[in-house]
Structure 1
Amino acid sequence: MELQAHDLHNEFPEYRNEIHALKTSDAHFQRLFDAYHDVNRHVVRIEVQAEVATEPELEDLKKERLRLKDELHDMLRKQRGQ
């Protein structure tokens, strides 16, 4: 199984400038950004079997990652004026 990179710069390469701008100017975005990457690292560690988790635990983490990604994407779109 090949793992996909889910960091925000890979997920949204077209928003690279907006990610940088919001990380430096918006504390809420920074908190969500950090939370997203913490959850993502946890998912990856489970997927490479460096950590053990049940399938429901892994699914919950993936759902949380998606929720955070959606919220961050909304903020990025607003930053760009879309």
Structure 2
Amino acid sequence: VLYCAKIRLQRKWDENELAKMVLTVYDSLTHEVKIEDTNRAIAVIHKEMTRPLPGITVGLPVEIKVGPSLGKLKKLSTEEVNEIVKEYT
């Protein structure tokens, strides 16, 4: 599931240069995004990471963290993510 989302996200980034995938570790994807594009990128990432796959009926939770560096990431609450996604859909 993660690798399907990773491929979809990379295609999105290739199309619109909104973000750059800089690191993948186990079940984590790390992206570099301009500050002014952060909310739009969060909406795209959430959409692609939660998109259902054929034959898989169990939804997988997505945790989104943002910050100026890997050492200063802040986890967004579900409510914060939902507000951002609602703004861009």
> Normalised by the size of structure 2, how large is the TM-score?
0.33
